[in-house]
Structure 1
Amino acid sequence: MALVVGNNSYSDVPVLAKARADAQSIGTKLNELGFTVTTALDQDRRGLNRKISEFTARLEPGDAAFVFFAGHGVEIDGENYLLPTDIAAPSAGGSDFVKSESIALSDLLDRVRKTGARSAVVVIDACRNNPFELVEGRSIGNTRGLGRIAAPQGTFVIFSAGAGQLALDRLNENDTAENSVFTRALLPLLSEPGLELRTLVAGLRREVRDLALTVQHRQVPAYYDEMLGEFYFTQTALPAEPAPLPASTMQTDFEVARSIGTPQALDSFLERYTGREDEYTYTVAMQLRQGLETEQAQAEATARETPEAPDVPVIPDSKAVMRETQAALNEIGCQTGRPDGIAGPRTRSAFAAYLAASDSTLGADDLGTAHALEELRQKSGEVCKPAPRTASAPGPAPTKAAAPLAGAWKFKATCALVVKVTGNVHYTHAGGNKYHGRLSDSLGQNANTEVYLNGQQISGTDYFPGITVTWRGRLAADGRSFTSSGSTGCTVYAWR
């Protein structure tokens, strides 16, 4: 179910040019996606309240709700208010009048919540100039944009610009697009198959930011996430024939290539998007690549002057090495089962037990290597000792650690453009199900990270310089490893 509002024709404050068209475009797209849409165009206060009531009356417990508002809005005393078309310009000091004659965003969210809707996605494109900025010599509300909010549980709220920022209707005088900058970036993402809401918003924020920067303007959509679980506008579907990569995929790949910052990453990006040279993102990538040419040439010259390291002997049969490794682990009490040359879960657990019980300097990635096998052959006796047996009655089942993520982890990530990254992260328990961490990787990047653990489910946000990555994953039953995937397209395996 969806409610779509677009107000252009204000009677007593500046009229808008594209709010109505934005709402119509969003409504058409949602109809195509199977939503039942309640449309409200150029509504006064009574009409807007009536449309909201019609919408909430249709919602049933368990429904997914979508609300879109394009028009004037204003922040007063920490609350955001959506303005109907008949809002009158008040006299000086008339902020209470504005509050009584408009729709408080918190009230709208509460009306949706009371229906029992399972989840609600609310998009507010009202971050324009304050229509009451100068009223008889003083301002009512903030001068531009809307303020931060506390979204109720089960709700995901998106603003077209960050707190205090101005949302652009157009990029310049020659921009004849029907929709505002925010809405034109949002529309194609809504119908992209298999795009989870948080990944959609990450791409939307980058696209709007980059468009605004072309005219030296700062606009980065803000969002407030209190939604439990995932949300998709369109589930994954296989296309009948190969289709060109969408702009959001191109933007995501560009962000990955730019954050890696190597000539190889940028070359891979440019090769992948050959034929789209006239697009802004491609042009920026080309400029970055050209700027690295001198540095690359210097690195190659240095490499030519450096003596080559002697060749490392190559083990001709890695499966044979793994079989011998399994046999060696069995010999010292680290049971892998029958040696079959396959590094399955039992073999990995046995090797991890060896690392924990010995003074080895090897890591989990060394399993199956010649030097690890050589070390195992040097060991004797029972390194992995079985748990002692007692005749007493069994005690209570062991409990999980109070802070199962706390401590040091290693990770291996496979990202877009077939880039592989390794690194380390150390988590500290911050109370409840929350953890803070510090991450460093093989590309020389560092990030602060914030993680939440709910049962076996993990969700986190990594704050790299210039880019924020959101991700979700699952902790293994033994608490020794987890897998995840993130908004940059990287899949991660972490262990300790």
Structure 2
Amino acid sequence: MFKYVIAVLAIILTGISPALAKRVALVIGNGAYEHTVPLPNPANDAEQMASKLRGLGFDVVAGQDQSYTDMRRTVMEFAKKAYGAEIALLFYAGHGMQVGGQNLLVPIDAKIEDETSLDFETISVDFILRQMSKDVKVQMVFLDACRDNPLARTLARRMGPSRSGNVGAGLAEIKVDDAGGEGSVIAFATSPGDVALDGEGSNSPFTSALVRHIDTPNASIQTIMTRVTGDVYEETEKRQRPWVNASLIGEVILNKTETGPTTDVAALGNAATSVPQAAAPAASSAATQSTIAWEREKLVWNTVKDSKTIADYQAYLDAYPNGTFANFARNSIKRLESANQVAAVNPAVVPGATATPAPAGLPDPQAAVPGTPETEAALGWNRTARRQVQTRLNLAGHNVGRPDGAFGPKTRAGVTNWQLANGISATGYFTPAQYSLLTAQTAGQYAAYQEEVARKQKAAAASRSTTQRRTNTTTTTRRTNNNNNNGGGMNPAGAAFIGGVLGGVIGGAIGR
């Protein structure tokens, strides 16, 4: 009995052991969408997060590329396990949307044809949060679901102008009280209402940083999310800043490593809660070395992050091939190589500019560089420029319909077909080098097209001028006639009447 009391006291004084705490996680990654733009990274994101969480002692309920029915079943399994958990965690990567301030996760078979579809084809985040608040001490939510979602735009168009404002970009803010009270952490890949990047590597920038830091020994979740936010902000060139809202009454440490007995009670022989004294200096030394290594790497990165030279980024990769900023360094190298290639092929390619003679195609390295929403966004096209791109695709023989500046499914299919025809990685999105090639290929046709448009505009203007002159002439003639009829004294009927009267008067006078 005495040993039992000692063991209980040791647990109270040293905290709940990770081995005894009940930790449950729901991890879902949806990318293979059937009715909208697929996403390459969510399945990888979910797989790596599930593996990392299992290593931290979580009972993980995981699903990848799930339909509506699959997601409901997975959430139900999670809800049953999460009841009474010390920590319940949700991680979701994939398409998401907000309608009227409500956040919705999108299964891969969703069509979202109208508002009715929302109740029967999406899963509400609030619904999952309710499952995480049943006698759960700490709730953690990580949503990498703020990606650009064409289904949301389709729904907004069909809702009409009066209600389309209910469909917002990105996700809506979640108040911590909504997730179960004081012990909550809510983290978005980017700020509420903003759109996050899917990334050019095998993982999104947010998930890459989260996987990198979440198992940091003896680091609180607040510290971890501060590091995640900093990494994403730097790796996306300050285009994306994760958003975190936490309400915790103390520190929550997911990877707590003991550094030695904390009290005399714990040292009385309870093997489950005590660690040999010799372990403390070793653990402390390891933590110090880890901090020094991190600061050193960060210093090197700060030196090269704004460089315009490939060699500088490569120097960082040589020193830290698996470093914190390795993916960003590789992306920077790709971007610089692409820019160099564009300059070599066509030094002044801008939408509407006259291009140089068409090259045979892109060099092999550029043909292998896949286009992404990010590489296309870097071109900075406005609506007029997008119409020009659509016109060039039509001229190249890949019909995308009437150029309207909106890159919908038909335009994306046209881009994909053009890429396939040129032996380029077919993604439906342009890189700068690919746009340079399209511009060069269609230089002659586009110049002829512009001449024809100018000729028609001139002819239309001449026709309008002629019509206006005729209208003016007719109007002038009518006014002249009116003036002659009215200003000359009287109209013919009036003249006849007066003439008859005068004739009668004269005739009477003669007759008398």
TM range (shorter): 0.3 to 0.5
- The TM-score with structure 2 as length reference comes to 0.45
User: Which structure features the higher share of helix residues?
Assistant: 2
User: Which structure ranks higher in relative contact order (CA pairs < 8 Å, sequence separation ≥ 6)?
Assistant: 2
Which structure has the larger Rg over C-alpha atoms?
A: 2
- The TM-score with structure 1 as length reference comes to 0.46
